[in-house]
Amino acid sequence: MASYTLGELAELVGGQVEGDETLRIEGVATLAGASEREIAFLANPHYQDQLRQTRAAAVILRESDLALSPTASLVTSDPYLAYARIAALFAPSPEGRAGIHPTAWVSEESSVHESAWIGPNCSVEAGVTIGPNCRIGPGCFVGEGSVIGADSRLVANVSVCHGVRIGRRAVIHPGVVIGGDGFGFAPHREGWQKVPQLGGVVIGDDVEIGANTTIDRGALEDTVIEDGVKLDNQIQIAHNVHIGAHTVIAGCAGISGSTHIGRRCAIAGGVGIAGHLNIADNVTITAMSLVIKSIDKPGVYSSGIPVSENYRWNRNLVHLRHLEKMAGRLKTVERRLDSRPHKQED
Protein backbone atom coordinates (compact mmCIF):
# COMPACT_ATOMS: atom_id res chain seq x y z
CA MET A 1 0.00 0.00 0.00
CA ALA A 2 1.34 3.41 -1.02
CA SER A 3 1.92 5.96 1.70
CA TYR A 4 3.50 9.41 1.80
CA THR A 5 4.40 11.85 4.55
CA LEU A 6 2.43 15.07 4.75
CA GLY A 7 5.68 16.91 4.04
CA GLU A 8 6.18 14.95 0.81
CA LEU A 9 2.66 15.78 -0.30
CA ALA A 10 3.19 19.46 0.48
CA GLU A 11 6.34 19.45 -1.65
CA LEU A 12 4.42 17.83 -4.52
CA VAL A 13 1.73 20.53 -4.58
CA GLY A 14 3.79 23.51 -3.41
CA GLY A 15 1.83 23.86 -0.16
CA GLN A 16 2.64 24.63 3.47
CA VAL A 17 2.21 22.14 6.34
CA GLU A 18 0.59 23.19 9.58
CA GLY A 19 1.22 20.29 11.96
CA ASP A 20 3.34 17.15 11.83
CA GLU A 21 5.22 16.91 8.51
CA THR A 22 6.14 13.26 9.23
CA LEU A 23 2.50 12.18 9.45
CA ARG A 24 1.95 9.30 7.01
CA ILE A 25 -0.98 9.43 4.58
CA GLU A 26 -2.31 6.22 3.02
CA GLY A 27 -5.20 7.50 0.93
CA VAL A 28 -7.69 10.25 0.11
CA ALA A 29 -11.33 10.62 1.21
CA THR A 30 -14.12 13.10 1.83
CA LEU A 31 -14.23 15.22 4.95
CA ALA A 32 -17.17 13.20 6.26
CA GLY A 33 -15.77 9.77 5.38
CA ALA A 34 -12.03 10.11 6.01
CA SER A 35 -10.19 7.98 8.54
CA GLU A 36 -7.16 8.86 10.65
CA ARG A 37 -4.90 7.54 7.84
CA GLU A 38 -6.41 9.60 5.00
CA ILE A 39 -6.25 13.17 3.74
CA ALA A 40 -9.37 15.15 2.80
CA PHE A 41 -9.86 18.57 1.23
CA LEU A 42 -12.05 21.65 1.60
CA ALA A 43 -12.61 23.62 -1.60
CA ASN A 44 -16.23 24.70 -1.04
CA PRO A 45 -17.10 26.78 2.05
CA HIS A 46 -20.48 25.01 2.25
CA TYR A 47 -18.62 22.06 3.80
CA GLN A 48 -17.00 23.99 6.66
CA ASP A 49 -19.19 22.18 9.22
CA GLN A 50 -17.81 18.85 7.97
CA LEU A 51 -14.29 20.26 8.34
CA ARG A 52 -14.90 21.00 12.02
CA GLN A 53 -16.02 17.39 12.61
CA THR A 54 -13.65 15.50 10.31
CA ARG A 55 -11.61 12.53 11.51
CA ALA A 56 -9.10 12.89 8.67
CA ALA A 57 -5.39 12.70 9.41
CA ALA A 58 -4.96 15.95 7.51
CA VAL A 59 -6.95 18.37 5.38
CA ILE A 60 -6.01 20.34 2.26
CA LEU A 61 -7.43 23.86 2.58
CA ARG A 62 -6.92 27.57 2.05
CA GLU A 63 -5.26 29.72 4.69
CA SER A 64 -8.59 31.46 5.33
CA ASP A 65 -10.05 28.14 6.57
CA LEU A 66 -7.07 27.12 8.69
CA ALA A 67 -8.57 28.27 11.99
CA LEU A 68 -11.49 25.83 11.50
CA SER A 69 -9.31 22.76 11.08
CA PRO A 70 -9.17 20.31 14.02
CA THR A 71 -6.23 18.41 12.57
CA ALA A 72 -3.01 18.76 10.61
CA SER A 73 -3.40 20.88 7.49
CA LEU A 74 -1.82 21.34 4.08
CA VAL A 75 -2.36 24.98 3.14
CA THR A 76 -2.56 25.92 -0.53
CA SER A 77 -4.25 28.55 -2.70
CA ASP A 78 -6.12 25.91 -4.74
CA PRO A 79 -7.20 22.93 -2.58
CA TYR A 80 -9.07 21.15 -5.37
CA LEU A 81 -6.08 21.19 -7.70
CA ALA A 82 -3.82 20.01 -4.88
CA TYR A 83 -6.27 17.20 -4.10
CA ALA A 84 -6.30 16.11 -7.75
CA ARG A 85 -2.51 15.83 -7.81
CA ILE A 86 -2.38 13.96 -4.52
CA ALA A 87 -5.24 11.62 -5.46
CA ALA A 88 -3.30 10.62 -8.59
CA LEU A 89 -0.65 9.09 -6.32
CA PHE A 90 -3.23 6.67 -4.91
CA ALA A 91 -5.11 5.93 -8.14
CA PRO A 92 -4.58 2.41 -9.50
CA SER A 93 -2.65 2.48 -12.75
CA PRO A 94 -3.24 0.17 -15.73
CA GLU A 95 -1.17 -2.98 -15.72
CA GLY A 96 2.24 -2.53 -17.30
CA ARG A 97 2.02 -5.57 -19.56
CA ALA A 98 2.80 -5.50 -23.27
CA GLY A 99 1.93 -7.64 -26.26
CA ILE A 100 -1.16 -8.89 -28.06
CA HIS A 101 -3.84 -11.01 -26.40
CA PRO A 102 -4.45 -14.34 -28.16
CA THR A 103 -8.06 -13.44 -28.92
CA ALA A 104 -7.17 -10.11 -30.58
CA TRP A 105 -6.91 -9.76 -34.35
CA VAL A 106 -4.14 -7.45 -35.55
CA SER A 107 -3.45 -6.94 -39.24
CA GLU A 108 0.04 -7.79 -40.41
CA GLU A 109 -0.01 -4.45 -42.22
CA SER A 110 -0.35 -2.49 -38.97
CA SER A 111 2.43 -1.21 -36.70
CA VAL A 112 2.09 -1.90 -32.99
CA HIS A 113 4.93 -0.79 -30.72
CA GLU A 114 6.47 -3.60 -28.70
CA SER A 115 5.59 -1.84 -25.43
CA ALA A 116 1.89 -1.50 -26.31
CA TRP A 117 -0.86 -3.84 -25.10
CA ILE A 118 -3.73 -5.04 -27.31
CA GLY A 119 -6.41 -6.60 -25.12
CA PRO A 120 -8.92 -9.42 -25.62
CA ASN A 121 -11.24 -9.40 -28.63
CA CYS A 122 -9.72 -6.28 -30.18
CA SER A 123 -9.55 -5.69 -33.91
CA VAL A 124 -6.75 -3.62 -35.46
CA GLU A 125 -6.94 -3.07 -39.22
CA ALA A 126 -4.31 -2.47 -41.90
CA GLY A 127 -2.25 0.72 -41.83
CA VAL A 128 -2.86 1.37 -38.13
CA THR A 129 -0.02 2.77 -36.00
CA ILE A 130 -0.17 2.25 -32.23
CA GLY A 131 2.55 4.05 -30.29
CA PRO A 132 4.68 3.19 -27.26
CA ASN A 133 2.97 2.24 -23.98
CA CYS A 134 -0.54 2.38 -25.44
CA ARG A 135 -3.25 0.30 -23.77
CA ILE A 136 -6.02 -0.89 -26.08
CA GLY A 137 -8.59 -2.45 -23.77
CA PRO A 138 -11.02 -5.31 -24.39
CA GLY A 139 -13.32 -5.16 -27.38
CA CYS A 140 -11.81 -2.11 -29.05
CA PHE A 141 -11.82 -1.56 -32.81
CA VAL A 142 -9.18 0.55 -34.59
CA GLY A 143 -9.97 1.22 -38.23
CA GLU A 144 -7.74 1.34 -41.26
CA GLY A 145 -5.04 3.99 -41.34
CA SER A 146 -5.68 5.36 -37.85
CA VAL A 147 -2.87 6.50 -35.53
CA ILE A 148 -2.86 6.34 -31.71
CA GLY A 149 -0.11 8.29 -29.97
CA ALA A 150 2.20 7.21 -27.18
CA ASP A 151 0.84 6.50 -23.69
CA SER A 152 -2.80 6.66 -24.79
CA ARG A 153 -5.45 4.38 -23.32
CA LEU A 154 -8.66 3.07 -24.84
CA VAL A 155 -10.43 1.63 -21.81
CA ALA A 156 -12.85 -0.85 -23.43
CA ASN A 157 -15.26 -1.22 -26.38
CA VAL A 158 -14.02 1.95 -28.07
CA SER A 159 -14.54 2.28 -31.83
CA VAL A 160 -11.95 4.29 -33.73
CA CYS A 161 -13.03 4.40 -37.37
CA HIS A 162 -10.70 4.74 -40.35
CA GLY A 163 -8.44 7.72 -40.78
CA VAL A 164 -8.49 8.98 -37.20
CA ARG A 165 -5.42 10.52 -35.53
CA ILE A 166 -5.24 10.49 -31.72
CA GLY A 167 -2.41 12.27 -29.91
CA ARG A 168 -0.36 11.31 -26.89
CA ARG A 169 -1.68 10.50 -23.42
CA ALA A 170 -5.33 10.33 -24.46
CA VAL A 171 -7.81 8.59 -22.18
CA ILE A 172 -10.89 7.33 -24.01
CA HIS A 173 -13.61 5.70 -21.93
CA PRO A 174 -15.93 2.79 -22.81
CA GLY A 175 -18.40 3.11 -25.65
CA VAL A 176 -16.80 6.11 -27.36
CA VAL A 177 -17.13 6.24 -31.16
CA ILE A 178 -14.63 8.41 -33.04
CA GLY A 179 -14.88 8.95 -36.76
CA GLY A 180 -18.38 7.73 -37.54
CA ASP A 181 -20.05 9.42 -40.50
CA GLY A 182 -21.37 12.91 -39.99
CA PHE A 183 -25.08 13.56 -40.51
CA GLY A 184 -24.93 14.65 -44.14
CA PHE A 185 -27.87 14.19 -46.52
CA ALA A 186 -28.99 16.18 -49.56
CA PRO A 187 -32.77 16.42 -50.07
CA HIS A 188 -34.34 15.54 -53.40
CA ARG A 189 -37.77 14.61 -54.69
CA GLU A 190 -37.41 10.94 -53.83
CA GLY A 191 -36.01 11.39 -50.33
CA TRP A 192 -32.46 11.97 -49.13
CA GLN A 193 -29.12 11.45 -50.88
CA LYS A 194 -26.25 10.56 -48.54
CA VAL A 195 -23.29 12.96 -48.75
CA PRO A 196 -19.98 11.05 -48.45
CA GLN A 197 -18.02 12.02 -45.35
CA LEU A 198 -14.47 12.22 -46.70
CA GLY A 199 -12.68 13.98 -43.83
CA GLY A 200 -11.23 12.46 -40.68
CA VAL A 201 -10.88 13.28 -36.99
CA VAL A 202 -7.74 14.80 -35.45
CA ILE A 203 -7.40 14.69 -31.65
CA GLY A 204 -4.53 16.44 -29.85
CA ASP A 205 -2.45 15.48 -26.82
CA ASP A 206 -3.80 15.02 -23.28
CA VAL A 207 -7.43 14.76 -24.35
CA GLU A 208 -9.95 12.80 -22.24
CA ILE A 209 -13.24 11.60 -23.71
CA GLY A 210 -16.08 10.31 -21.50
CA ALA A 211 -18.16 7.19 -21.97
CA ASN A 212 -20.49 6.94 -24.98
CA THR A 213 -19.44 10.25 -26.47
CA THR A 214 -19.47 10.41 -30.28
CA ILE A 215 -17.21 12.49 -32.52
CA ASP A 216 -18.15 12.47 -36.21
CA ARG A 217 -15.64 12.62 -39.04
CA GLY A 218 -15.56 15.67 -41.27
CA ALA A 219 -17.42 15.94 -44.56
CA LEU A 220 -14.38 17.26 -46.47
CA GLU A 221 -12.02 18.71 -43.86
CA ASP A 222 -11.27 17.11 -40.48
CA THR A 223 -13.15 17.40 -37.21
CA VAL A 224 -10.52 18.76 -34.77
CA ILE A 225 -10.20 18.41 -30.99
CA GLU A 226 -7.17 20.38 -29.80
CA ASP A 227 -4.74 19.63 -26.94
CA GLY A 228 -6.02 19.29 -23.39
CA VAL A 229 -9.74 19.19 -24.20
CA LYS A 230 -11.86 17.29 -21.64
CA LEU A 231 -15.18 15.83 -22.76
CA ASP A 232 -17.75 14.31 -20.41
CA ASN A 233 -20.10 11.39 -21.12
CA GLN A 234 -22.70 11.22 -23.90
CA ILE A 235 -21.67 14.30 -25.85
CA GLN A 236 -22.43 14.59 -29.57
CA ILE A 237 -19.84 16.40 -31.69
CA ALA A 238 -20.90 16.70 -35.32
CA HIS A 239 -18.83 16.80 -38.48
CA ASN A 240 -16.26 19.57 -39.01
CA VAL A 241 -16.55 20.91 -35.46
CA HIS A 242 -13.34 22.48 -34.14
CA ILE A 243 -12.81 22.62 -30.35
CA GLY A 244 -9.98 24.78 -29.04
CA ALA A 245 -7.32 23.74 -26.57
CA HIS A 246 -8.21 23.17 -22.89
CA THR A 247 -11.95 23.59 -23.37
CA VAL A 248 -14.17 21.44 -21.13
CA ILE A 249 -17.66 20.21 -22.07
CA ALA A 250 -20.05 18.52 -19.61
CA GLY A 251 -22.41 15.63 -20.27
CA CYS A 252 -25.21 15.51 -22.85
CA ALA A 253 -24.10 18.63 -24.70
CA GLY A 254 -24.65 18.67 -28.46
CA ILE A 255 -22.45 20.57 -30.92
CA SER A 256 -23.84 20.91 -34.44
CA GLY A 257 -21.75 20.75 -37.59
CA SER A 258 -19.02 23.22 -38.59
CA THR A 259 -19.14 25.14 -35.31
CA HIS A 260 -15.82 26.50 -34.04
CA ILE A 261 -15.40 26.66 -30.25
CA GLY A 262 -12.49 28.64 -28.85
CA ARG A 263 -9.86 27.85 -26.27
CA ARG A 264 -10.41 27.55 -22.52
CA CYS A 265 -14.19 27.52 -22.82
CA ALA A 266 -16.47 25.80 -20.29
CA ILE A 267 -19.71 24.37 -21.65
CA ALA A 268 -22.09 22.97 -19.05
CA GLY A 269 -24.37 19.94 -19.24
CA GLY A 270 -27.21 19.77 -21.73
CA VAL A 271 -26.09 22.78 -23.78
CA GLY A 272 -27.10 22.80 -27.44
CA ILE A 273 -25.03 24.75 -29.98
CA ALA A 274 -26.37 25.27 -33.50
CA GLY A 275 -24.22 24.76 -36.56
CA HIS A 276 -21.82 27.10 -38.40
CA LEU A 277 -21.25 29.32 -35.34
CA ASN A 278 -18.11 30.75 -33.76
CA ILE A 279 -17.60 30.77 -29.99
CA ALA A 280 -14.80 33.04 -28.73
CA ASP A 281 -12.04 31.99 -26.34
CA ASN A 282 -12.79 31.99 -22.59
CA VAL A 283 -16.56 31.66 -22.90
CA THR A 284 -18.66 29.91 -20.23
CA ILE A 285 -22.13 28.65 -21.20
CA THR A 286 -24.37 27.58 -18.32
CA ALA A 287 -26.44 24.40 -18.19
CA MET A 288 -29.29 23.72 -20.64
CA SER A 289 -28.59 26.85 -22.69
CA LEU A 290 -29.38 26.97 -26.41
CA VAL A 291 -26.89 28.87 -28.55
CA ILE A 292 -28.20 29.96 -31.94
CA LYS A 293 -25.88 32.93 -32.63
CA SER A 294 -22.10 33.28 -32.57
CA ILE A 295 -20.48 34.57 -29.38
CA ASP A 296 -17.63 36.97 -30.10
CA LYS A 297 -16.65 38.11 -26.59
CA PRO A 298 -15.43 36.23 -23.49
CA GLY A 299 -17.90 35.96 -20.62
CA VAL A 300 -20.68 33.91 -19.07
CA TYR A 301 -23.78 33.22 -21.19
CA SER A 302 -27.12 31.64 -20.20
CA SER A 303 -30.51 30.90 -21.73
CA GLY A 304 -32.00 28.02 -19.75
CA ILE A 305 -35.07 28.67 -17.56
CA PRO A 306 -34.55 27.40 -13.99
CA VAL A 307 -37.11 24.98 -12.57
CA SER A 308 -39.90 26.37 -10.39
CA GLU A 309 -42.98 25.07 -8.63
CA ASN A 310 -45.48 23.75 -11.13
CA TYR A 311 -48.22 26.26 -10.35
CA ARG A 312 -45.75 29.15 -10.76
CA TRP A 313 -44.49 27.75 -14.05
CA ASN A 314 -48.05 27.36 -15.38
CA ARG A 315 -48.91 30.90 -14.36
CA ASN A 316 -45.78 32.30 -16.00
CA LEU A 317 -46.47 30.26 -19.12
CA VAL A 318 -49.83 31.99 -19.49
CA HIS A 319 -48.01 35.34 -19.45
CA LEU A 320 -45.50 34.11 -22.01
CA ARG A 321 -48.30 33.16 -24.39
CA HIS A 322 -49.61 36.72 -24.23
CA LEU A 323 -46.19 38.38 -24.37
CA GLU A 324 -46.58 39.61 -27.96
CA LYS A 325 -49.95 41.22 -27.21
CA MET A 326 -48.56 42.80 -24.05
CA ALA A 327 -45.59 44.21 -25.97
CA GLY A 328 -47.96 45.68 -28.56
CA ARG A 329 -50.09 47.31 -25.87
CA LEU A 330 -46.99 48.75 -24.22
CA LYS A 331 -45.86 50.32 -27.49
CA THR A 332 -49.32 51.86 -27.93
CA VAL A 333 -49.15 53.40 -24.45
CA GLU A 334 -45.63 54.73 -25.15
CA ARG A 335 -46.74 56.34 -28.42
CA ARG A 336 -49.67 58.04 -26.68
CA LEU A 337 -47.41 59.35 -23.94
CA ASP A 338 -44.88 60.61 -26.48
CA SER A 339 -47.64 62.42 -28.43
CA ARG A 340 -48.95 64.32 -25.38
CA PRO A 341 -47.87 68.00 -25.27
CA HIS A 342 -45.11 68.61 -22.79
CA LYS A 343 -45.82 71.22 -20.12
CA GLN A 344 -43.48 74.17 -20.45
CA GLU A 345 -41.55 74.94 -17.29
CA ASP A 346 -41.47 78.55 -16.13
What positions carry a catalytic annotation?
239
Q: How far is CA 236 from CA 125, 252, 275, in A?
A: 25, 7, 12
* Nearest Cα to Cα of residue 178 among 204, 209, 205: 209
* Nearest Cα to Cα of residue 117 among 91, 155, 143: 155
State the Cα angle at 175 between 111 and 89, rounded to 5°: 80
Identity of residue 239: H
DSSP for 271-334, please give it.
-EE-SS-EE-TTEEE-TT-EE-S-B-S-EEE--PPPP--HHHHHHHHHHHHTHHHHHHHHHHHH
| Residue 130 · residue 118 · CB < 8 Å | yes
Of the chain, the end-to-end C-alpha distance in Å amounts to: 90
* Nearest Cα to Cα of residue 217 among 178, 171, 246: 178
Tell how strand 191-194 and strand 185-188 pair up: antiparallel
Establish how many alpha carbons lie within 13 A of residue 65's alpha carbon, considering only the half-sphere containing its beta carbon: 27
d(C-alpha 257, C-alpha 184), whole Å: 9
d(C-alpha 324, C-alpha 196), whole Å: 44
| Residue 107 · residue 162 · CB < 8 Å | no
63-76: burial string, b at 16+ Cβ within 10 Å, e else: eebeebbebbbbbb
